[in-house]
Amino acid sequence: MIVVTGATGQLGRLVVEGLLKKVPPAEIVAAVRDPRKAEEFAARGVQVRTADYDDPATLATAFAGAEKVLLISSSTPGQRLAQHEAVVTAAREAGVRHLAYTSVLAADTTKLFVAPDHKATEEVIRESGVPFTFLRNGWYTENFGQTVAQALATGSFAGSAGEGRLGGVPRIDFAEAAVEVLTGEGHVGKVYELAGDESWSYADLAAAVTAAAGKPVSYQDLPAAQHREILLGAGLPEPVAAMLVDADRAIADGELSSASGDLRTLIGRPTTPLAEAATALVKG
């Protein structure tokens, strides 16, 4: 039995859909905080179980009988590590034989704002003794949905990444990698650095959006401090502005790209090219 945590989230839904193409629905558990949001999966024969990262008792029930678990990382700053520790403990106590975890690129060396929680979670998993696979996911192109919408409305978008490049691809590529790890062989003990075959800059993104939309879009590069002030002026909370500026710093420093080829190998095809991803963003 394969359990997917956060199964009604944006990545989790794609993973469950991918699993449904490879294993019987009764062998899949969608572990979610609100089972009502998973009614579609239940109607297709997927087991739906309540699983709240903040309620260990629900995790124990959700993982009962599980052979494999995909821990999709929490998105709650300040609570993420404790929540992950609860999941790892529940997996160990349930006798799970393979725990896959969605981490972040180069979790042990990157300075990216989310890295400390991911690095610490990886350490917790290693120390737990549960056989593991780390899926160190790069950036999702969907993260730029609002940026592209703004660019289409105004003709430009701003950032502070300079000429830095990232290996961003759509979530579906990362979801397919998770499905392979959960259903394939030879993945236990592996650490996969997952990014697109093609690294690209914000200038490349502007060009791809221009081509997809048929209207000119440009990228305006700014000093980090000015970028932050623009974001705050647009009404973004300070933590969100800081996060976005740090993401651009990471891009400038090359922390969001990888030449490992791991993603391409896992999904058995070339990763989604920027032109295709940009077209999807333009279409909304």
Residue 78: the pLDDT is 78
Residue-wise pLDDT tens digits, 14-72: 999 999 999 999 999 999 999 999 999 999 999 999 999 999 999 999 999 999 999 99
- All structural domains of the chain, each given as residue ranges with its CATH number in brackets, are 2-137 (3.40.50.720), 143-166+198-256+272-283 (3.90.25.10)
Q: Tokens 């989310």, residue?
A: 114
For 255, the 3-state DSSP assignment is: coil
Residue 119: the pLDDT is 96
Rounded distance, CA 235 to CA 223, Å? 19
Region of 211 please: left (phi>0), alpha (psi -120 to 50) or beta. alpha
* Residue 56 C-beta-side C-alpha neighbours within 13 Å: 11
Rounded distance, CA 181 to CA 253, Å? 29
pLDDT exceeds 90 at position 234 = no
pTM of the model: 0.96
- SS3 letters for 2-58? EEEECCCCHHHHHHHHHHHCCCCHHHEEEEECCHHHHHHHHHCCCEEEECECCEHHH
Rounded distance, CA 208 to CA 219, Å? 11
Rounded distance, CA 168 to CA 142, Å? 9
Residue-wise pLDDT tens digits, 93-131: 999 999 999 999 999 999 999 899 999 999 999 999 999
Paired tokens of 201: 């800059």
Identify the band that residue 13 occupies on the pLDDT scale cut at 50, 70 and 90. very high
Paired tokens of 205: 């993104």
Dihedral in degrees, nearest 10, Cα atoms 72, 159, 255, 78: -40
Residue 75: the pLDDT is 85
